[in-house]
Chains A and B, each alone.
Chain A
Amino acid sequence: MPFTLTPRARLVLLVLVASTLVGAVCAKVNTRGHLQLGAAEARVMVDYPAPSIVDRRSLAQDISTLQKHAELYGQLLTTRPVLDAVARRMGIPPDSISGLSRITAEVPITLTQPDSELRASQIEASLAPYRLELQPDPEYPVLLIYAAAPSAPDAQRLANDAVLGLRDYLRTLAAKQLYAPANLPVLRQLGNASASVVNHRAPIVIAALSFIVGFALTAAGLWTAIVLRRRRRDGRAPLQSDPRSRYLDDWPHTTRLLPWALAGFVTLLWLTPFNRIQLDFHTPIDLKLDRLLLPFVALIWLIALLAGERARPRLRLTGIHVAVLAFVALAFLSVTLDAHYLNQTMELDLSLKKLPLLVSYVSVFWMMSTAIRPSEVRAFMTLTLVLAVIVGLEIIWEYRSGTNVSSFLSQKLLPHPLELLGSTKVQVDSLGRRGIVGPTDVGLEAVTILTLALPIVVGRLLSATRGKPRLLYGLAVCVLLAAMLATGRKSALVAPLAVLLTMAYFRRREMISLAPLGLVIAVVASVLSPGAVHGTIAQFVRPDSSSVATTSDRTSDYDAIRPDVWSHLLLGRGYGSYDISTYRILDSEILSRTIEMGVLGLLALLAIGFSVILCARRTIARRDSPYAPLALIGAACAACFLTVATLYDELGFPHATYTFLYLAGLVAVVAGRENEVAATSPQLRERALRVRRARRRRADASPQRRGALV
């Protein structure tokens, strides 16, 4: 019997073949040109003419004088006349060589961060194929010369010729100034420059990345076109309720492994300082605790794909999925299209380390949105609330006692070979604020995760009618707010405000009814964290509030990054390639995305937040839907995500990013299901019917209705 393919299989095969071809072409095109990069290192000692400083009896100030001259020569090597002298020695065009000197002296960090003009100059210098970087030793008269060139021998020659070029320049200057050549400082090169190729794998890596991006984008584009065409022909299929809701084994009353694994991972996200826990031996990438455990969760998800309907993950593509996938696609595209430049500046590895991290973030969103049933979302929200309250209590304890409980426990309980990085003691920043962080890395991140949990408890408070739950939810709000304020960050007032305003927009009447309770909550919160409320508010009202370092540094970033933005306007310089330790510390995800992913990347980031609000909007409007409160939580979380994006680089902090994305995944599960009351679990169905009956009773009792009936 001849082997035949079904039409669907044929279509899939066609898409795969076309995508493979496009991927191969992309790989071929993007690996054209010279990709190899050599680097070399040389050391030069600035010395007196005979006898040397090594031989002569010298004072500390003699060393200091020579060290200053080493610094001066380091700077001289970046100037045009000396670079021209080096280029002459090398036999290369003068424009193909550039120099950069690092400040190694102890100066305020604001002086080492490049402003707009300097950054533009650095960008111009980074385009040269032959580059020198000079670092004077801060104590001794030794100058470190790092050279980068298209090959290792070239780099070695460049490092050696830099010394000779500098010597040539000093001789020329001495001749001009009639200075005795015998009295010139001596540049003693400490051995021949050592050189090597620093990016052996660059062609393979760039080819693989280009293939993956070309393949994935072509496959996605073709498949979307096929689906749209089919829809046009057959009409849109009616929205079906989730068939898994028929099974009455919703988490946590289930033996299904996948939701339990996800719940376990969520617990890990909240309760452990996982970003500071890693293996105590060297690995090619930093294997933090989340990256050690996430593959197991992903494996369970993959195995569940083979299971029956009851346990199988189910994809329902929403606008949130599209926004998240578009962001990931643009992140990969930005690195692929700028791979040559990043390879030249040796920043490609940085991006290649950040891309898997982005994939791990998104995988949590993906697994949540496919594995969790609509009827389980409320339980996961409850879990989040409980964990948030635990973290809140921990932060309050840290504020009052100075002990970081999660770090302390991790240090005591972690088995070998895991180790906790950093200190368990509370640090103090430049404004004198104590670093109250809980399980997170920075106070702002702690504020973010607690703010993301705030709409859950406020939502519950809105719907609670009886006294005891109302009291408990009220206490939970107090704990969360007190913990946020205990971090001492100004964002502790800004981020919750964004959440509350979003909730007030959708539920005005109900939120106003909570106003008296708000006063009580404010008093209790200030009792839980004494001094924190006053301290946080004082930061806004102090006379120099607009010129304190945290504000002025943030403001100066907007001008300083203009050269980066204008030189890579559309797609940025590549996701993850802007190293804050080399350039500037950017306290804004908006700025980071604009630099690394361009205007399109920034729009994609904003689209993630807005897509959650837009997808949730219709469900929120259907007040009788059991999913309306859950969608409202999602919209408020998205508002929080967008707000904190302007306050710090949130994607660099995994607690906040994971938490937002898994909550967005949960919202994606319930969004657009406002009409699905009958298909949900009995509890939710009963609740929806109760709400409907109550609304009908209210409507019947209204005077107009009574009048109409009469």
Chain B
Amino acid sequence: MELLEFARGPALVFSAAVCAFGLAWRLYGILRRPLRTDLSAPRRSDTVAGGLRAILAKMLPPKGVKVRGVAMANAYAWHIGLALVVFAFAPHIAFIARHTGIGWPALPDPVTYVATAVAIVGLLIALLTRLTDPVLRLLSNFDDYFSWLVTMAPLATGMALLPMPAQPLWLAVHLLSLELLLVWLPFGKLAHAALVFVSRYRTGADFTRKGAAL
């Protein structure tokens, strides 16, 4: 079997399955823990709306609390860059449409090239910050660095595909790097892509019940 065939076939199925089942298991791991019923008299009853509000509100910087401004701006930049590369680049949309039947219009290629550059530079700055900032160095472990690597890898291998027509070997490597990311995603911090909804919802619902600040 050619490497590209392997990457497009069994490796893709395997990695997608690990990602889906791994994430489901991780979420189940949270949901299986006991739920403590709060018997206090609620100040507000719109807790579901509060949970959903928190999911949206926490996308913005907190009010009145200073955060690491440069790091936060950088995080916005590379998350948006990454989202555009994944979901607005024509070949990626075609790839998704081929497997799911769902497609949408792409952004012009030059825009996604800029987005790629922003994502790559942003990730490099993030790594540099993590390596030099005392707080981040203290907090960081294998997960942080490996998650960085598997996020950067598809971007870097994707860049190698830019001189068209794409070389099958590089295409295979690009796909395999994506598959590595999918396999790792449920186990490390990248799972925040799903966990963000759970933890923000929890705080949103609990704090809304009290009328406390989010």
To the question of whether A and B form a pair in one complex, the answer is no
Residues in B lying within 8 Å of A, measured CB to CB:
none
